[in-house]
């Protein structure tokens, strides 16, 4: 289960954007008519920017999140009212499911089999909506007129509200237990913003404000995703070497630095396979992320670095040894085709204190590496202080 801190952190930005536009909609009487008149153009402009940037970063899920909204708003702008009403009803039912399905699809690019399947699914959705717009069906009308709740949800239908709540619950479960919380939290806010836009559509510019908010949430998510790819290790989710180099440049005069290596990792990979080895790296990284007094980074392969800013060596040693003991006593289950076995993973750690002879933190890192090799030479599964 994901930590409350991680969940709140990933909810904070999209919620802030959504709340800003909700307040803007309430107090739009205080805005000039010119600002309100450019809202549609701003939506289209931001949507195009999102599409271009998503294409550049090969993030098709964002493209398929925005494309339907462009079609929705264009249909409201150019189609007769009776057809727009049908599109409104169908869209409020289909889009939440569409959003969830494309969120769960793995990224494979456009020019692949998966990309073709995504595009085909999207075209099928568009075709279904177009068909019922041109050829109204009494069954569809009955579905949207079905009353489930005692309270009034107009202009939303009861069935679309049920679908929306069901999708929302699934997304919240993904937020709690999924790995990519950065996506799931933003999509929860996108879904809520979408429904609020439809519900308050009777008020001037409410739909435009909600669509602009969704554009900005996705655009910010793209920026955050670019940062995550640049600074965080994809496998372990720990900060990577680039983040380490930048954080080392910010260190003061007093700090401790530890180099960590998984014992016998190559032998483990040869015995159980690289997939199982990746799971070990994830398990160790999870423990490293919880280290007290410092911050952990994946340096490369099975090697990690821990920075202890403003910490004395003896204090940092205690934190490192607690980490070592925590990993050594945490069982790892190796699952085979027919059986599974419990094993224990060990780490060796070399740790040093900064000193006046270090011209830069990399000098301390070299000394920590020497201490790490000493830990391995003298039996492994230990923390050794370096000079």
Spell out the domains of the chain, with CATH numbers in brackets: 4-231 (no CATH), 241-385 (3.30.70.270)
CA angle 132, 145, 77 (to 5 degrees): 50
What radius of gyration do the chain's Cα atoms show?
A: 27
pLDDT at 338: 67
DSSP structure class, residue 312: -
The β-bridge relationship of strands 255-262 and 347-353 is antiparallel
pLDDT at 337: 66
pLDDT at 133: 87
Closest CA to 190 of 98, 114, 126, 117: 98
Distance CA 193, CA 213 (A): 8
Mean pLDDT, contiguous 10-residue spans, the chain (387 residues): 86 94 86 85 95 89 94 90 87 94 84 83 92 82 81 86 95 92 94 94 89 96 88 91 92 92 89 87 92 93 94 94 94 77 91 87 92 93 91
Task: Name the strand (E) or helix (H) holding 333.
Answer: strand 331-335
Distance CA 358, CA 356 (A): 6
For the stretch 182-221, what's the b/e string if a residue is b when 16 or more beta carbons lie within 10 angstroms of its beta carbon?
Answer: bbbbbbbbbbbbbbbbbbbbeeebbbbbbbbbbbbbbbeb
pTM above 0.85, yes or no: no
Helices (H), 200-343: 206-231, 241-249, 265-272, 274-289, 313-328
pLDDT at 375: 94
Distance CA 108, CA 121 (A): 15
């Amino acid at each position: 289960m994901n930590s409350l801190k991680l969940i709140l952190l990933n909810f904070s930005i999209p919620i802030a954007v959504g709340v800003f536009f909700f307040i803007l909609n309430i107090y739009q009487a205080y805005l000039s008519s010119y600002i309100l008149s450019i809202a549609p153009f701003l939506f289209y402009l931001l949507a195009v920017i999102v599409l271009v940037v998503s294409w550049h970063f090969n993030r098709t899920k964002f493209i398929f999140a925005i494309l339907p909204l462009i079609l929705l708003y264009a249909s409201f702008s150019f189609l007769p009212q009776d057809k727009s009403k049908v599109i409104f009803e169908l869209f409020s039912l289909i889009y939440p499911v569409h959003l969830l399905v494309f969120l769960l699809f793995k990224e494979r690019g456009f020019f692949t089999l998966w990309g073709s399947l995504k595009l085909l699914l999207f075209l099928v959705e568009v075709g279904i909506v177009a068909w019922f717009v041109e050829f109204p069906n009494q069954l569809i009308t009955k579905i949207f007129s079905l009353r489930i709740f005692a309270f009034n949800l107009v202009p939303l239908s009861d069935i679309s509200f049920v679908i929306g709540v069901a999708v929302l619950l699934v997304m919240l479960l993904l937020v709690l237990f999924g790995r990519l919380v950065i996506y799931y939290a933003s999509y929860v806010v996108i879904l809520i913003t979408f429904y609020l836009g439809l519900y308050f559509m009777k008020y001037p510019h409410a739909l435009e404000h909600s669509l602009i908010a969704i554009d900005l949430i996705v655009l910010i998510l793209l920026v955050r995703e670019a940062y995550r790819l640049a600074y965080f290790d994809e496998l372990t989710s720990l900060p990577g070497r680039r983040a380490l180099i930048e954080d080392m440049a910010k260190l003061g005069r007093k700090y401790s630095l530890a180099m960590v290596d998984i014992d016998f990792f190559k032998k483990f990979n040869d015995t159980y396979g690289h997939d199982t080895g990746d799971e070990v790296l994830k398990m160790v990284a999870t423990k490293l992320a919880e280290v007290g007094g410092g911050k952990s980074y994946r340096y490369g392969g099975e090697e990690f670095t821990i920075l202890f800013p403003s910490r004395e060596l003896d204090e940092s040693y205690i934190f490192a040894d607690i980490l070592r003991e925590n990993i050594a006593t945490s069982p790892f289950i190796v699952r085979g085709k027919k059986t599974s076995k419990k094993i224990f993973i060990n780490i060796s750690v070399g740790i040093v204190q900064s000193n006046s002879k270090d011209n830069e933190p990399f000098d301390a890192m070299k000394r920590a590496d020497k201490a790490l090799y000493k830990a391995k030479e003298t039996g492994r599964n230990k923390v050794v202080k370096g000079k």
